[in-house]
Chain A
Amino acid sequence: MVLSDPLIELNDIDFSYSSEAPVLRGVNFCLQDGARVALKGGNGAGKTTLFHLILGLITPSAGSIAVMGRRCSREEDFVHARRHVGLVFQDPDDQLFCPTVVEDVAFGPLNMGLRSAEALERAEDTLDALGIYHLRDRVPYRLSGGEKRLVSVATVLAMKPDVLLLDEPTAGLDQSVADRLIQVIRSYPCKGLLLISHDPGISSALTNRAFILKNHNIEEDSGSPE
């Protein structure tokens, strides 16, 4: 990877779920090394859709995607992309599927090729950093909404991705837990961060630029934060 390559690059992306209504039309977007960007836009503007496109979970009808300097067109390319870019889903229930919390968190590291002991250790460290070590042996789908949210963040951080895509990570968290999450993410050494949040507090704490999705397209938000 050349140093100046952007972390994520979208060129002229078109996407629609059904043929009538386009969600994204001709979207161009670039996340540079070191960038910490907030992604705004009303409900249904297509923010979550954009995240899923970046990781190849859905396929655009036109345009190209490059992640970490590698052009992504086939599934193998996205497998590579997903090792570097971590996505926290909007709904934590989508993300958790293992019988115990610690296993869910260790699942990503194991897939990256870590040995069981290392993966377990990393899972435990991550849980500890998020202050939820006590949930270690609980069953994920029987946790409270806020606890699930923290575990789903842990599952992503445990893979130590270079880029974080956070889809409303503080929704449903009480103030003190949200603050702790913000601290953990601030101190996490990532190369780039893309954050969707309807809470101006967390946006200003974590990002220094803002883009807005509206009318199927993305533009820099002029009334930017700070």
Chain B
Amino acid sequence: MTCEAFASGSSFLHKADPRVKVLCAFFYSLVVACLTIMPAQLASLLISLLLLASARMPLAIVVKRIALINIFVMALWLVIPFSTPGRVLFHAGPLEASVQGIYTSLAITLKCNAIVMANMALLSTSSMFLLAHSLAHLRVPSKLVQLFFFTWRYLHVLEDEHRRMMQAIKIRGFIPRTDILTYRTYAYLVGLLFVRAYERGDRVYKAMLCRGFNGTFWLLHHFHLHGRDVAFGLGMGGIIMALAGIEWSYLIR
């Protein structure tokens, strides 16, 4: 399964209570997103790197995902330095790059990476299913939890239908080229993909109705809070407060 590549593992973070991880990820992301001073941002990136390292996930996939996100960040570097007014640092043709613009871009890069890495370490070390359950246990409204869970479930349906159709065209010798047959085949595939996924979703829903579904998301699974989870939660809470503290002490100065 592509979206749960990291869910199984034996690190400390894999074993930690997902409720604690969800709470930590939420507050950590919130605080990091609000940081305005460079030392705090650097510290948060360091903390995220440590978290990521302690999750011991397959390095190749981790690097690929982070690289993917930084492609978007790079796009910001092409715009923000030249569009933010301030002291001019250098000229690129008719464009002027400002110090403030570069500073802003750097801040976005640091915070974005810190948040993504922390969420990877904290959230993708649990299966989607456990995350949905922990959200339900944390009293997130049931409608939202169901929306989250079924979005994920139907992404699978899409992926599944896609895989089957690709297999069907491959065994009949399809090789993508730049010709009209290829384009037409892809157009059929995309069209059919949505129709089939929609109909499959419809039948799954009907089958659920047959079993008396009335909108309740049942919780059979119960989490147990261990001492180490409490310790981890408190530790993360301390780190989050320390970050907020650095920021605050700078602001009141």
Contacts and interface: CB of A to CB of B under 8 A. Distances in A.
Interface of A: 52, 55, 57, 79, 82-83, 86-87, 89, 91, 93-95, 97, 99-100, 102-103, 106-108, 110-112, 116, 119-120, 141, 155-156, 159
A163 to B, nearest CB: 12
B206 interface: yes
A146 to B, nearest CB: 18
B61 to A, nearest CB: 20
Given A89-B203, A97-B153, A97-B208, A103 B220 contact: yes
A103 B219 CA distance: 9
B220 A111 contact: no
Looking at B160, B206, B211, which has the most chain A CB atoms within 10 Å of its CB?
Answer: B211
Given A55-B210, A94-B206, A119-B218, 17 more contacts: A57-B210, A82-B212, A89-B203, A91-B203, A93-B200, A94-B200, A95-B207, A97-B153, A97-B207, A97-B208, A111-B212, A112-B212, A116-B218, A141-B160, A155-B211, A156-B210, A156-B211
Nearest to B149: A99
B203 A94 contact: yes
B210 A99 contact: no
19 contacts: A55-B209, A57-B209, A86-B210, A87-B207, A89-B203, A93-B200, A95-B207, A102-B220, A103-B220, A107-B218, A110-B220, A111-B211, A111-B214, A116-B218, A119-B218, A120-B220, A155-B211, A159-B211, A159-B212
B66 interface: no
B5 to A, nearest CB: 15
Nearest to A55: B210
Looking at B129, B156, B207, B209, which has the most chain A CB atoms within 10 Å of its CB?
Answer: B207
Contact of A141 (B156, B206, B211, B221): B156
B118 to A, nearest CB: 25
Contacts of A94: 200, 203-204, 206-207
A82 B216 contact: no
A79 to B, nearest CB: 7
A103 B210 CA distance: 16
Nearest to A159: B211
Contacts of A107: 208, 211, 213, 218
B36 interface: no
Given A99-B127, A141-B160, A82 B209 contact: yes
A82 B220 contact: no
A52 to B, nearest CB: 7
Contact of A99 (B129, B200, B207): B129
Nearest to A112: B212
A111 B200 contact: no
A151 B140 CA distance: 31
Interface string B170-199: 000000000000000000000000000000
